[in-house]
Amino acid sequence: MIRRRLAFILLAMGFACAAQAAPVRVTIKDGALEGARRDGMVTFLGIPYAAPPVGALRWMPPAAPAKWSKSRAAKAFGPSCAQITTLGPFAGPANANEDCLYLNVFAPEGARTGLPVLFWIHGGGHVDGRSDDYDPVKLVRAGLVVVTINYRLGLFGYLAHPALDGEGHLFGNYGSLDQQQALRWVKDNIASFGGDPGNVTVAGQSAGGSAASVQILSPLAKGLFHRAIFQSGGTNSTMTPLAFAQARGMKFAAAADCAKGDAAAVAACLRALPAQKILELSGTASANGPFINGLMIDGRIVPGKPIDLYRSGNYNRVPIMSGMVADEGNFNIGIAEYFSGPPRKPVTAEGFKTYAAKTYGGNAGPGGSPPAYPKGTVEAVLAHYPLKNYPTPQRAQNALMTDPLLCRARHVGRILAQRVPVYGYRFDEITAPSYFAAMPGYEPRAYHTADLQFLFAGYHGGPEGIPHPLNKAQQKLSDEMVSAWANFARSGNPNGSGDHPWPRFTGEDRTSLYLSQNIPASTALTDADFVARHQCGFWETILVY
C-alpha cells in the first residue's frame, strides 16, 4: 500500500512538472511566440510591435515589424529605449538603444477569452523609463491581461524641425505615435492571449499619464481604447507650441552641426548622427539639456491646445480615473538632493526662495515654454507660502510644488466631468516606502511614484532604486487599489457597481468627492477640503491654462 501510494505521488509530481515545463505558445499575425509561466500567469516578453526606428526610420512614424516564420522566444524583455537622464534612482540604465519598440503581455494562466486589457505606459518625463520595472502580477491575478511597452524617449521621441516636419508624414510626437502603434497591435492580437480588444484601458503614471491623455486628445487614437487612467499626470492643459518646439529643434541641429544645406540635407544629416551624439546633446544623468521638448501641439497627433479641446468636448470620450499623490513635489526634491553631493544637501530657506523665483519669474512658463507668469507672481507666491508656516523648508517647497499640480488636475477634472464619467482620488499614504537612499533631513511622505509599488509588485524605480516590502497595512491598501483598478478596467467604475466607497466626481463645488487612499482606511474627501489643503483659490488666479 505504501509503495502504491508513493508511486501515485511520484506520478502526480511528474504530471505537475510536465505541466509546468510544457511550453506556452500563441500565434499572432506576425508569427508564433513561445512564452513562460510565472506566479500563476503566462508571460510573453520582448514582442516587436514596430520595425526598429533606425537609419531612414529615425524620426518617422513607426512602421510594421517584420514577420517571422519560426517560433520566436518571448522570454526576455526587449532593450529599453535610449536615455541618459535617470531622475535619480527612478530609471535607467543609461543606454543608446534605438531598436527598442517592444512590448510585453501578461495574462492569467489558463485564461478564458474576453478579459479586460490594461495597457500600461511607463513614466519618466518622456525622457527615461522602461517597461521592465513594472511587475503586474497582482493586476493579472485580479483578472486583467496587462500590456507594458517601451516607446521612443527624449530627442528620439519628441523632436520638431522644419526639415523633418515638412516631409509629409506625422511628426513631432513620435513617442505618442509609438503608443498608438502598440494600441493597434493590441487591437489586432490581444485576443490570442485571452484579452478583449473591445475593452482596453490605456493607463500610465506621470509622463505615462500625460501620454495616456494624448490618446484622449488625439483623433488618431479613436476607437483604440475604451477607458483611461491618469496617475499623477494626464490632466495636461499646457503643451509646448509647435513654433517653440521647432526653434529648439533648429538649435539642436545647429549644435549637432546639421544646420547646413537644404531641408533634405539637414534631415539626412540628423538621421546619420550617431545615437550617442544625440544623447550627449540630450542632457546628463541629473538634468535635461536645452533642446528637450516633451509633448507638443503638432496639429495632427495633438490637434490643438489641450484645454481648448477639453472645453469644446473635442476629444475621445471615455470613462476616466484620475488622481495625484499628496506630496508630489517631494520626488523632485529628492532627485535634487540625490545629485547634490557629496555630501548631499537638503532644501534650505534660500533654496526654497530660489525655486520660487526660477519657477514663477523670468521669461518661461510651464514646461519652459511661453506664456510667462506676470510680473509680481514670485512675490505673491512667497507671500502665500511663508516659510514660518512650515516645520522645514522642504515641507514649504513640497507644498509650493504640489499644490499647483493638484489644482490644475482639479480644474481639468471638472471640465471632463461635464461630459464623461470621472473618478478622482488622492493617494495620502505618507509611510509608503521610498526607493531613494537615506538622505539627511529628507522626508518622502506620499511622494510622486509612491503609489506605483501598491499596484506593481516590488516596484522600486530603476536598477539603482532600493526595494522595500509593504507591511500588512500597506498590503491591505494595495489589495484595495488593485481591486479598484481592475474593476475600472472591467466596467468603467472602480467600485464595480454603485457609488461606494469611491464616489463619482461631479465637478460641482458642493457635491464633488474624491477618494482619499490611505491607511487604515480609504475615505471620501470633499472638494472643499481639497481646495483648502492645496490653496486652489489662490492658484486659480495664477495658473496659466
Query: Residue 429 catalytic?
Result: no
Nearest to 366 by CA among 542, 205, 246: 542
CA 65/CA 51 separation, integer angstroms = 4
CA 81/CA 101 separation, integer angstroms = 8
Element (H, E) at 491: helix 472-491
Q: Name the phi and psi angles at 26, rounded to 5.
A: -135, 160
Q: Which of 232, 237, 328, 429 is catalytic?
A: 328
Nearest to 154 by CA among 87, 78, 216: 87
Query: Residue 516 catalytic?
Result: no
The strand pairing partners of 296, in sequence order, are 240
Q: Which residues of 110-132 are buried (b: 16+ CB within 10 A; e: fewer)?
A: ebeeebbbbbbbbbbbbbbbbbb
Whole-angstrom CA distances from 448 to 24, 159, 291, 406 are 37, 26, 25, 12
CA 420/CA 307 separation, integer angstroms = 16
Would you write out the chain's pLDDT as a tens digit for each of its 545 residues? 444 344 433 333 433 333 345 679 999 999 999 999 999 999 999 999 999 999 999 999 999 999 999 999 999 999 999 999 999 999 999 999 999 999 999 999 987 899 999 999 999 999 999 999 999 999 999 999 999 999 999 999 999 999 999 999 999 999 999 999 999 999 999 999 999 999 999 999 999 999 999 999 999 999 999 999 999 998 877 899 999 999 999 999 999 999 999 999 999 999 999 999 999 999 999 999 999 999 999 999 999 999 999 999 999 999 999 999 999 999 999 999 999 988 899 999 999 999 999 999 865 544 445 457 888 999 999 999 999 999 999 999 999 999 999 999 999 999 999 999 999 999 999 999 999 999 989 999 999 999 999 999 999 999 999 999 999 999 999 999 999 999 999 999 999 999 999 999 999 887 899 999 999 999 999 999 999 999 999 999 999 88
The pLDDT of residue 329: 98
CA 445/CA 198 separation, integer angstroms = 39
pTM of the model: 0.94
Whole-angstrom CA distances from 143 to 110, 137, 138, 234 are 11, 10, 9, 25
CA 485/CA 65 separation, integer angstroms = 31
Cβ–Cβ contacts within 10 Å for residue 390, how many?
A: 16
CA 467/CA 437 separation, integer angstroms = 10
The strand pairing partners of 34, in sequence order, are 25, 73
Q: What is the mean pLDDT of the chain?
A: 93
CA 300/CA 322 separation, integer angstroms = 25
CA 97/CA 401 separation, integer angstroms = 33
Tell me if 295 sits within 8 A of 306, measured CB to CB: no
Residue whose cell numbers read 495597457: 119
CATH no. for 22-160+170-240+295-318: 3.40.50.1820
CA 190/CA 541 separation, integer angstroms = 46
Tell me, what DSSP letter sits at residue 245? Answer: H
Q: Which of 80, 131, 176, 206 is catalytic?
A: 206
Residue whose cell numbers read 530627442: 155
Query: Would you state the cell numbers that stand for residue 422, as one nine-digit string?
Result: 470621472
The pLDDT of residue 246: 97
For the stretch 22-65, pLDDT in tens is 679 999 999 999 999 999 999 999 999 999 999 999 999 999 99
276: Cβ–Cβ under 8 A, 6 or more apart, which residues? Answer: 96
Tell me, what DSSP letter sits at residue 418? Answer: T
